[in-house]
Structure 1
C-alpha cells in the first residue's frame, strides 16, 4: 500500500511504498544496493534484445492505464504528484519501489516543449539519497511518454542498519576538510554543508557534503565526510572543464595567506562583488563574428600575428539590455552578468570593463574585448533559446547566468560549475573567449544542466562535451555556409594546431560500443569520446539544412531529448529518446529519419 507522509517544510509531499503483511515478499537475501538504471520509452523504434539487456525498455512493459485513462488535466504540482503517484503504485515492482524503505519526494515539475516531466528524489529519515531519481514524462496529451529511474534499494528489513543521526558535528567535518585542502588566498564560495546518504558497495553511509571554492588549490571542491567516524569518503572538483591537450599552467607564484574555512562559513565569499543595479541601456561592441579563422578563411592563422592582420575580422554589433548607472555602462543584463569571481593569471582579479558611452571598441589583447565577446554570445544564445519556446514557465534561465571572462586561475582552460551555475574563461595561447565556439560550448554545459539537473553518470560526461560542441557548431552554421575553412572542426580559432588542435564533428568512422561507458574527453580508438556524440548531431544538422529543413527544428529535437533523459543514461538510450522526440515534435518523420541514420552510421543505434 502507499503511505502518504506529511507535507514537508519545502512544500513537497513525501511518499513511500510499503507492502501490507498479506502481500509481503520474503526477501532476507536482498541487500541495500543501487538498482540498474533503466529508461522506458515509447516503442516507436524496435528495441532489440541487445538494447534491452542494457538499459532501455519499451514503455508498454509498464501499466499505463492509470495515467492514460484520466480525463482531468493537472493544473498544479500537487495535481501532477497525485496522478504520477497512482501510476508508480501500479508499477511498483518494475520501478523498484516494492518493499523499499526509502521515501520519494517530489523534487520538480518541469515543462518542456513536448510535455511535462515530474521528478522524484529518494529520501530516508528525511535526508536525500545522493544520485537518485525517478522521472515520469507526460506528453502534451497527458499520457505517459517515458520513464527514467535510478534508485537505491533499501529493503524495509534493513532500515534499522541505516544511521539516522550524525556522530560528528558540522564544525568537526569542516575541520577535516580544512586539514586536507589547506586553502590559501580568497574564498571564492564560502562552505555549504548538508547531509546526504551515499550508497556504496554493500553499504549505506550518512555523509556530510561540503562544497567550497578557493583560490588555491584552485577549484570548486566537493568533500564527502562520513558522519559516523569522520573518515574522508570522497573529494573532487565539481567543475566541468575543457581539459585541453597541452594545457598551459601558470608559472610558480608566491604562497598566499592561509584561510580558515570555519570562519569563512559565516562570511560572504571574499571576492564576491555587489550586484550592479541601474537602468536598462543599449550599446555597441567590436567582436569577432564568429572567429578570425572563419572570417578570414585562413586556417594557418597564428596567435602572434601582427594586429593589422585581424582588422578585417572585426564586426560591430549591438548590445541589448546592458545597464547604466552613475554615468557608466556595465555589461550586465537580464540574461548575462559579466563579473569577477575568479582569479586570473598571477592571481590577478580583473574587474569587468565599463565605458562612459556604452561602446566597447577594444581589440584582442585587451580584456574589455573578451568581456564584450563573452557578453554578446551568451546573450544571443539565451535569447535564441527563448525564441525556440523556452520562455515563461519553460524558461531555462529565468535568473540569467554570471560569467568571468578572465578566470580559471590563469590556465588555458574554461569551465562551467554546476550548482554554482557560473561560467569562466581562461587565457593562454589564444584567449578562450576570442572564439565563439568556446563561449557557446561552455554555455552548452549550463544548458544541459538546466535542461536536466539530474545530468550525471553513464555516458553523460562525453555526451555533455559533445552537446557543447554541437551547440557551438549550430550557431556558427547560422552565420556561415558549409565548406572551407575546415568546416568539420570545432574551435577553429582557439583550437589551432599551434595551440591544442581542437576537436571534430565529422568522425563518421567512429564506432560505439554499448558495453562501454564514455567519459568526457576520453580517447577511444583514434577519436575522442566527445566526438562520438557530436558527430551524428552535427551531421544531422548539415543534412537537414541541405534538405531545406530548419536548423531551429533540429535544435529543438536535440534539446528535448536531453530534457527527458533522466540520469545515468547512455548514448544509446539518449539517441532513442531523441529520435522519439523528433517523431513527437515533427510527425512527418524527416528529422527523425536523418537522426536515426546518423546514429546508425556510428553504431549508436542498430
Structure 2
C-alpha cells in the first residue's frame, strides 16, 4: 500500500476520501501544523526516551482500525517537534463496514492458507525439524479496514503454526484471503546457554546436545547467579519477566530457590528469567526507562520444533525445544527479546521487508553485545554458538554472524540473511563508539523508526540520534558505519 501522498480531504465523485502519506521531517523542521493531531486517530502509546516524548496513534475508520495506518509525533523535552511520521491510508467515506462473512468462516480460511504454507516450507527445509507439521490454530479474528486504492473491510485473523504467528486478512464481503504473512519474528535452531552458553564459556566447539542429557562438560559450564526482582510469589515472575507457561508446568519454590541441571525442563525457565532481567537492568543503566519496561511473558519449551518466536499480537515470546532447547542459549533469548524491544518502542514494527530485516539484524546484534561482558572475547560476532551445534558442521558453530562484511549489494529478500547487513552496521558502530555509547544511540534511534521503515530511513534517524546525543563527530562515525554497508 502506498503512503506517499499528502494528507488532504478531497471529493472523488460523490465520495469523500481521506488521503494518507508517510514522511519523516528533519529534526527541528517539522511541518507547521505538526502540533495539531488529525481526526480519526486512537492513541495507543506514549513513550519517553533520552531526547523526549514519542506519541503513537492508530488510524481508524468508523471505529475500526485501518491496517498499517499510523501517525506518530516525536517531541523533545521542551515540547518542540523533532519529527512527525504520517502513515495514514486513504479510505472512502462510502465504504460499508458490515461483514457478510462470519468470523468463524474467515478464521477457517485463514488457517487453511497458513497451514498449507507452513507444510510447504517444512518440505523445503526437511532438516530443520523431525516433528510433523501441526495444523494451524487460530488466535483471534477482528474486523479491520484496508485503505488505499483497493480499500475494503476485512477480518484480521491471527494463527499459530510451525512458522510462528501469522496475520491473515480475509475479505469480510466475499471470504477471499487477501493477504497472509508471518508476523512473529523467528529464529531457527536455538540452543542452550548458561552465561552466555557452554560453547563460549568452555571455549569448546565439540559439545553436543545428546538429547538434553546431563553431561559433566555441561555441568561445569553452569553458573550460580542471583535472581533479582522476583515478586516473591514462589514463581519465576518479576518486574521484567514472567514465565507464563512451560512444558511440565512453571517452576515453583516457596524459598525462591530455583537450582536445576539442564536435563530438567525448568532449567530453561531460569535461563529466560535471569538473562532477560539482566538485559532490562542494563537498559535502565543506559538511562532508558520505557524500553519494554514490563514483565515480559514467556512460554518455555512449549513448541516442539527447532524454532522460537516473538508474537506481537499477544506480546509473548515462545521458546522451542527442538535440537538444543532454545532457552539454554542466552543469545537465542536475547535475540527474541530484541524483537519485543522494537515492538514495544514502535507499535506494529516490521511492516516492510527491510524493516523485518532490521528487526532480525537488531536481534542478532543485541544478542552478541549482551554476550560481551561474559564471553571473555570468545568469537563475539558469532550468533547462537550453542544452539547452532544442532544444525551446523563446524568447525565453528554460528547461526549467523555480525561481521560478514555484507552490503546492500548482497540483498536477497530474506529477512534473516539481509539482517546481517544491518547487524554488521550496528557492530561497526559499537566498535567505533564503544558498547555503552553505541547502545544509547541505537536504542534512541529506534524511537524514531516508522513501522515500515527502510534501511536508509532507519540509518538516517540513528545518525540524527547520535548527533542530538553526542554531536557532529559521533554522528559522522555512525554515518561512516552505514556507508560501509552501502546503506547511506
Whose radius of gyration is greater, 1 or 2? 1
Deviations, residues 77-120 of structure 1 (Å, cap 9, x unaligned): xxxxxx333xx7xxxxxxxxxxxxx8334443332221112333
Query: Counterpart in 1 of 2:272?
Result: 374
Query: Counterpart in 2 of 1:309?
Result: 217
Q: Is the contact between residue 495 and residue 501 of structure 1 (CA under 8 Å) also seen in structure 2?
A: yes
Shift of 1:189: 8.7
Q: Is the contact between residue 45 and residue 56 of structure 2 (CA under 8 Å) also seen in structure 1?
A: yes
Shift of 1:480: 3.6
Match of 2:200 among 294, 298, 303: 294
Q: Is the contact between residue 378 and residue 443 of structure 1 (CA under 8 Å) also seen in structure 2?
A: yes
Query: Counterpart in 2 of 1:570?
Result: 454
Quick check: 1:208 aligned with 2:155? Answer: yes
Quick check: 1:127 aligned with 2:64? Answer: yes
TM-score normalised by structure 2 residue count: 0.83
Query: Counterpart in 2 of 1:430?
Result: 324
Quick check: 1:194 aligned with 2:142? Answer: yes
Counting matched residue pairs gives 460
Query: Counterpart in 2 of 1:333?
Result: 238
5+ long unaligned stretches in structure 2: 1-6, 117-133
Q: Is the contact between residue 370 and residue 405 of structure 1 (CA under 8 Å) also seen in structure 2?
A: yes
What is the distance in 2 between the residues matched to 1:109 and 1:207? 28
Deviations, residues 100-141 of structure 1 (Å, cap 9, x unaligned): xx8334443332221112333322222221101122211223
Query: Counterpart in 1 of 2:402?
Result: 505
Quick check: 1:412 aligned with 2:279? Answer: no
What is the distance in 1 between the residues matched to 2:114 and 2:424? 39
Instruction: Indicate how the Cα distance of structure 1 residues 537 and 191 shifts in structure 2: closer, same or farther if over 3 A, else same.
Output: closer
Quick check: 1:137 aligned with 2:74? Answer: yes
Q: Is the contact between residue 339 and residue 352 of structure 1 (CA under 8 Å) also seen in structure 2?
A: yes
Q: Is the contact between residue 37 and residue 568 of structure 1 (CA under 8 Å) also seen in structure 2?
A: no
Quick check: 1:364 aligned with 2:364? Answer: no
Shift of 1:178: 7.4
What is the distance in 1 between the residues matched to 2:144 and 2:23? 23
Q: Is the contact between residue 371 and residue 380 of structure 2 (CA under 8 Å) also seen in structure 1?
A: no
Match of 1:242, SS state, is strand
Shift of 1:444: 0.6
Query: Counterpart in 1 of 2:121?
Result: none
Deviations, residues 116-175 of structure 1 (Å, cap 9, x unaligned): 123333222222211011222112232221222222134xxx533x22322344455456
Instruction: Indicate how the Cα distance of structure 1 residues 159 and 450 shifts in structure 2: closer, same or farther if over 3 A, else same.
Output: same
Query: Counterpart in 2 of 1:520?
Result: 415
What is the distance in 2 between the residues matched to 1:175 and 1:297? 49
Aligned residue runs from structure 1 range 334-483, under 5 A? 334-340=239-245, 349-355=247-253, 357-391=255-289, 394=290, 396-398=292-294, 400-408=295-303, 410-458=304-352, 459-482=354-377
Q: Is the contact between residue 32 and residue 203 of structure 1 (CA under 8 Å) also seen in structure 2?
A: no
Match of 2:324, SS state, is coil
Shift of 1:36: 6.3
Aligned residue runs from structure 1 range 89-108, under 5 A? 103-108=40-45
What is the distance in 2 between the residues matched to 1:575 and 1:585? 15
Q: Is the contact between residue 196 and residue 207 of structure 1 (CA under 8 Å) also seen in structure 2?
A: yes
Match of 1:591, SS state, is helix
What is the distance in 2 between the residues matched to 1:413 and 1:173? 27
Shift of 1:437: 0.7
Q: Is the contact between residue 49 and residue 288 of structure 2 (CA under 8 Å) also seen in structure 1?
A: yes
What is the distance in 2 between the residues matched to 1:395 and 1:602? 27
What is the distance in 2 between the residues matched to 1:544 and 1:480? 20
Q: Is the contact between residue 302 and residue 498 of structure 1 (CA under 8 Å) also seen in structure 2?
A: no
What is the distance in 2 between the residues matched to 1:211 and 1:540? 37
Q: Is the contact between residue 242 and residue 415 of structure 1 (CA under 8 Å) also seen in structure 2?
A: yes
Query: Counterpart in 2 of 1:159?
Result: 93
Instruction: Indicate how the Cα distance of structure 1 residues 426 and 559 shifts in structure 2: closer, same or farther if over 3 A, else same.
Output: same
What is the distance in 2 between the residues matched to 1:164 and 1:357? 55
Query: Counterpart in 1 of 2:424?
Result: 535
TM-score normalised by structure 1 residue count: 0.68
Shift of 1:491: 1.3
Q: Is the contact between residue 460 and residue 519 of structure 1 (CA under 8 Å) also seen in structure 2?
A: no
Query: Counterpart in 2 of 1:489?
Result: 382
RMSD: 3.6
Q: Is the contact between residue 554 and residue 591 of structure 1 (CA under 8 Å) also seen in structure 2?
A: no
Shift of 1:554: 1.7
Query: Counterpart in 2 of 1:580?
Result: 464
